[in-house]
Amino acid sequence: MAHVLVIGAGVIGLQTANDLLDNGYKVTVLARHWPGNESIEYTSPWAGAIWHTQALPDQIEVCDWQRQSYKYWMDILENEAEESEKMGIQRVPIVKYSVDERNDPASPRLWFCDLVQDFALIPTSDLPPEGPKSGNSFTTVLINPTRYLTYLLTRAKSLGAEMITATLPESASISNTISAALSHLDRKNAEVVINCTGLGASKLCDEAVFPIRGQTLLVRITPPPPTSRITIWDSDPVTYILPRRITPFSAGPSDATYFIGGTNDTGNWDPEPTPVISQGILERVKKVMVGWTGEDAQIEVLREQVGLRPGRKGGPRVELEDVDVGGKKVKVLHQYGHAGAGYQNSIGSARKALRLVEQALG
């Protein structure tokens, strides 16, 4: 069977590796960072990691990927309890508030209302006193990033994938980068190379790729909110509260820890948390929480963190390119630029990558 070299071990590279392995391909994954690593250059561990589309219906392909991801995870959650526990995915109610006046299921931004379970509009009288103009609720998928990435890595290994830790030159031409990648393989050859390097696809090479900085806080809320739910307010910047357990899953029920945020800061590479931004997040979150937890809830900050979403002008790039490496044509499949939607795009995007690999090998 054909040998595919996947570069990158974020949610995109690892999901793609698993789909290829499930279809009989021989797979090698080469990456600088692996699940468990907390480098700022590795985006996937820093995600909120929920399904909450920001796509609009004219982004036909992205909507389709997100539809596939939602159905895939819900199916596992409903039919394979043990598997979903291993993956670190949960079914959770979500409440989304908007500054948009319109509360109309025909609104384009609600394209997903027939896809998701339990969709409902929130009556104006039930909105928090300050801020939101409309809102909706549904049931969605919450992912624990580190657990999920570790699951994908372990699964790929158990299906026979080989793992190589290496750093490829980022300022070189794509031809030199691919050549460097292939030099790590025993046979110095792969039928297809897949570029899942996230923000690593930028650095002097593809100026269309840029960071969208997201600062977040890991907190404990006391007393704990009465129900475990996700709350998102599409304010500027976006404000969200997600349950996020920090104790090991084996330790039993979750403690009342939450992942709160956030920011959406284009072009900013700063890896260090900024105190004034954390203050702003806490103030916005308190405002959204009133009426849900009461006035007296205490928020204890456990950790401040930053992640850089791999943004790209024109949206994610998932396409084939023939690259000339020392006179030989190598088939490269690009799969980067998933910005703030890498998890919710991953299932559909990896399936497209599989089809393109099949096409490339014709």
Ligand X SMILES: *[C@@H]1O[C@H](CO)[C@@H](O)[C@H](O)[C@H]1NC(C)=O
Decide: is 39 part of the binding site for ligand X (CB under 6 A).
yes
Phi (first) and psi of residue 205, to 5 degrees: -90, -55
Query: Residue from 110, 174, 182, 288 that binds ligand X (CB under 6 A)?
Result: 174
Decide: is 16 part of the binding site for ligand X (CB under 6 A).
no
Q: Is 340 annotated as a binding residue?
A: yes
Site mask, ligand X, residues 149-168, x = CB under 6 A?
-------------------x
Decide: is 284 part of the binding site for ligand X (CB under 6 A).
no
Decide: is 32 part of the binding site for ligand X (CB under 6 A).
yes
Query: Do 129 and 166 touch, CB atoms closer than 8 A?
Result: no
Decide: is 201 part of the binding site for ligand X (CB under 6 A).
yes
Q: Which is nearer to ligand X, 32 or 284 (CB)?
A: 32
Nearest CA among 264, 321, 312 for reference residue 62: 312
Rule CB under 6 A: which of 226-255 touch ligand FAD? none
Q: Which is nearer to ligand FAD, 152 or 361 (CB)?
A: 152
The entry of ligand X, ligand FAD, none near residue 332 (CB within 5 to 8 angstroms by kind) is ligand X
The entry of ligand FAD, ligand X, none near residue 257 (CB within 5 to 8 angstroms by kind) is none
The entry of ligand FAD, ligand X, none near residue 334 (CB within 5 to 8 angstroms by kind) is ligand X
Q: Is 309 annotated as a binding residue?
A: yes
Decide: is 43 part of the binding site for ligand FAD (CB under 6 A).
yes
- 3-state SS track over the chain: CCEEEEECCCHHHHHHHHHHHHCCCEEEEEECCCCCCCCCCCCHHHCCCECCCCCCCCCHHHHHHHHHHHHHHHHHHHHCHHHHHHHCEEEEEEEEEECCCCCCCCCHHHCCCCCCEEEEECCHHHCCCCCCCEEEEEEEEEECHHHHHHHHHHHHHHCCCEEEECCCCCCCCHHHHHHHHHCCCCCCCCCEEEECCHHHHCCCCCCCEEEEEEEEEEEEEECCCCCCCEEEEECCCCEEEEECCCCCHHHCCCCCEEEEECCCEECCCCCCCCHHHHHHHHHHHHHHHCCCCCCCCEEEEEEEEEEEEEEECCCCEEEEEEEEECCEEEEEEEEECCHHHHHHHHHHHHHHHHHHHHHHHC
Query: Residue from 200, 211, 243, 311 that binds ligand FAD (CB under 6 A)?
Result: 200
CB of 197 to ligand X, least distance (A): 5
CB of 78 to ligand X, least distance (A): 27
Decide: is 336 part of the binding site for ligand FAD (CB under 6 A).
yes
The entry of ligand X, ligand FAD, none near residue 344 (CB within 5 to 8 angstroms by kind) is ligand FAD
Decide: is 340 part of the binding site for ligand X (CB under 6 A).
yes
Other Cβ atoms closer than 10 A to 208: 14
The entry of ligand FAD, ligand X, none near residue 216 (CB within 5 to 8 angstroms by kind) is ligand FAD
Residues that bind ligand X (CB under 6 A): 7, 32-33, 37, 39, 54, 168, 174, 177-178, 181, 195, 197, 201, 205-206, 238, 264, 332, 334, 340
Residues that bind ligand FAD (CB under 6 A): 7-13, 31-33, 42-44, 46-50, 167-168, 170, 196-200, 214, 216, 261-262, 307, 309-310, 336, 338-344
